[in-house]
A = this chain, B = another copy of it.
Amino acid sequence: MKLEKLAGERFRERPSDCIADSHALMLRGGYMKYVANGIFSSYMPLKRILRKIEQIIREEMDAIDGQEVQFPVVMPASLWQESGRYESIGREMARFQDRSGNPLVLGMTHEEAAVQLVREYGKSYLKYPFMVYQIQTKFRDEARPRAGLIRVREFTMKDAYSFHTSQEDLEAYYEKCRSAYERIYKRVGLPEVISVASDSGMMGGSISHEFMLLTPVGEDSIAICPECGYRSNMEAAEHIIEMQRDGESAPLTRVHTPNIHSIEDVCSFLGASPKDSCKAVVYQRNSDDRYIVIFIRGDLEVNETKLTNHLGYEIHPAVITEDCGLHAGYIGPVCPGGDPIVLYDRSLEGRNNLSCGANISEYHYTGLDMERDVPDAEYVDLAKIQEGGICPCCKKPGITISHGIEVGNIFQLGTKYTKTMHMTYVDRDGASEHPVMGCYGIGVGRLAAAICEARHDDRGPIWPAAVAPWQIHLCAVRSDNAEVREYADRLYGELQSRGIEVIYDDRNVSAGVMFADADLLGVPCRVIVSPRNMKKQVVEITSRDQTFSRESALDSAAEELCRIVKDPAAS
């Protein structure tokens, strides 16, 4: 491919609205183009990267007996009504009607389609286990697309669905798939990806893991215990309580606290620590705007994933109106007004001598004793795990919180879909059973972005050889020089005839422009033909990751470049 004819613009300035380096570099390097919020077109270099990643994923899925299939992008609503998700999934699912008025949806995941595909096939235990997968476009109407390819609305995903006759068999396959995922990340050049426990969210099921590339750009927070190796998405991490009851309870006492609203101000006014206060966090139910009040220890935050899982419906942060019965800034657990749903975090269980709102404007209480003053409270785990907190696994303090990009996930789904969609098989003993399912996803574009996040410098991406759009970037500096032109053209032809992927820059531009473009394309190995080099009867060969730079005789350059491409590690 000649660079001159490569569609796409390259430019030097970082676009001002890019928070992620991968986003900025993929725009600057002519990898993709913005079409709409969270929707991009890909130019040839990115398409080549994506296809290489897809092929690696495909090989590893085939190696664990996956069968590549294809589900529709557009599905009838009836399929999602069978599983109940047509109602339970919110606005992230795109819905429309066809010309006859039939409701359709755009696939954002394909559990329903997978069950529909194999429901008749899997009638006998003899057929099990099996796994089907696809690599296909999906659309999810994300509220907040961000960071280029890291969070988009339209994306290409490998999604796999396995079917088993027992939980044990699912677990064995789940581990096999986890290993396949580890091989995939290693092969695409990201061996540092780790797996962490995760929340199953709308997928259902109990056990699930995410694969994370740790990077400050990531929007996921991961709790890691340096002591025992526990790793979990913060969304799914249990919060362990480390505080106990005071000896003696003071009486519940109303205190005038004018113009004091925030928990910090209240505590500072009362001379108490946030750890000794009970704060209220208020949400509303999406369906009817009914208020939901969560009481939690003053220094903790509500984990909205745990909260949503507990409630089983969608919520949003509350707008507290004048007449709703709640007193914003003064809400407390003793007789709150209005008719809210009230939940108590476990951090308050058994606590006493707390400060809290008095449900009267400008008044707080001190001396709150949960057992004495709120005897009917039931406690659930709704708090976020904190930096330095106690490890849910080894119970030692010292949890660290890191950010990560989720580049894959695996779920043990159980029988959630096979039960609701009436998929059964006849077991060895003639009994009718529901198969248990697993599902396994990798977002291809996001993985490309993650590779770019982890492998780049200021000048551009540094693509690992396995996913690089080309293997050799051939620069003919001063292509108007007849000697340079003739040798470079010949080398281009020779490398191509040997099946090497070459991008050839024979434009009549300065070496500076040429090298800046080469940096943006991030091809592992660069070879420079120039008048100075021709005089010395050599070409310069350098690697994009700066691990080597050397000269090679004109005669043997093609040979040497083939060697480098075939075994990048040995170069």
The interface of chain A, by Cβ under 8 A from chain B, is 1, 4-9, 30, 33, 35-37, 39-44, 46-48, 50-51, 65, 67-76, 78-79, 91-92, 94-96, 98-99, 102, 104, 106, 113, 116-118, 120-122, 126-127, 130, 132, 134, 136-137, 139, 141, 143, 153-154
Contact = CB atoms under 8 A, between A and B. Distances in A.
A37 B51 CA distance: 31
Nearest to A92: B99
A266 to B, nearest CB: 37
Contact of A65 (B5, B50, B69, B96): B5
A124 to B, nearest CB: 10
Contacts of A37: 102
A99 B67 contact: no
A146 to B, nearest CB: 15
Given A96-B96, A141-B98, A9 B120 contact: yes
A445 to B, nearest CB: 10
Contact of A73 (B65, B71, B73, B122): B73
Contacts of A73: 73, 137, 139, 154
Given A35-B79, A35-B113, A95-B96, 14 more contacts: A5-B67, A6-B67, A7-B118, A7-B122, A7-B130, A9-B120, A35-B75, A39-B72, A41-B69, A41-B116, A42-B69, A43-B67, A50-B70, A73-B73
A277 to B, nearest CB: 37
Contacts of A36: 72, 74-76, 78, 102, 104
B91 A99 contact: yes
B106 A74 contact: yes
Contacts of A118: 7
Contacts of A92: 99
A99 B4 contact: no
Contacts of A43: 67, 69, 117
21 contacts: A4-B127, A6-B67, A7-B117, A7-B121, A7-B127, A35-B113, A36-B78, A36-B104, A37-B102, A39-B72, A41-B69, A41-B72, A41-B116, A41-B117, A43-B67, A72-B154, A73-B137, A73-B139, A94-B98, A99-B141, A137-B137
A143 B99 CA distance: 8
Contacts of A137: 73, 136-137
Given A116-B33, A127-B4, A121 B72 contact: no
Nearest to A78: B36
- Chain A interface, DSSP helix/strand/loop, else mixed: mixed
Contacts of A30: 121
Contacts of A127: 4-5, 7
Per CB-CB distance, the 5 closest pairs between chain A and chain B, nearest first, are A96-B96, A36-B76, A44-B67, A42-B70, A91-B99
Contacts of A46: 70
A115 to B, nearest CB: 11
A59 to B, nearest CB: 13
B7 A67 contact: yes
B106 A71 contact: no
A92 B42 CA distance: 26
A72 B40 contact: yes
A83 to B, nearest CB: 14
A116 B32 CA distance: 12
A238 B126 CA distance: 61
A70 B47 contact: yes
Contacts of A69: 7, 41-44, 47
A132 B122 CA distance: 42
Residue of A1, A7, A67, A143 with most chain B CB atoms under a 10 A cut-off: A7
A490 B44 CA distance: 43
A143 B100 CA distance: 9
Contacts of A44: 67-69, 132
A74 B33 contact: no
A8 B35 CA distance: 38
A2 B412 CA distance: 26
A114 to B, nearest CB: 9
Nearest to A153: B74
A148 to B, nearest CB: 14
B35 A47 contact: no
Contacts of A104: 36, 94
A116 B75 CA distance: 28
Nearest to A100: B37
A84 B67 CA distance: 43
A185 to B, nearest CB: 23
B99 A96 contact: no
A555 B72 CA distance: 46
A254 B98 CA distance: 50
A365 B543 CA distance: 89
Contacts of A130: 5, 7
Residue of A51, A92, A134, A141 with most chain B CB atoms under a 10 A cut-off: A141
B68 A35 contact: no
A413 to B, nearest CB: 18
Contacts of A98: 94, 141, 153
A130 to B, nearest CB: 6
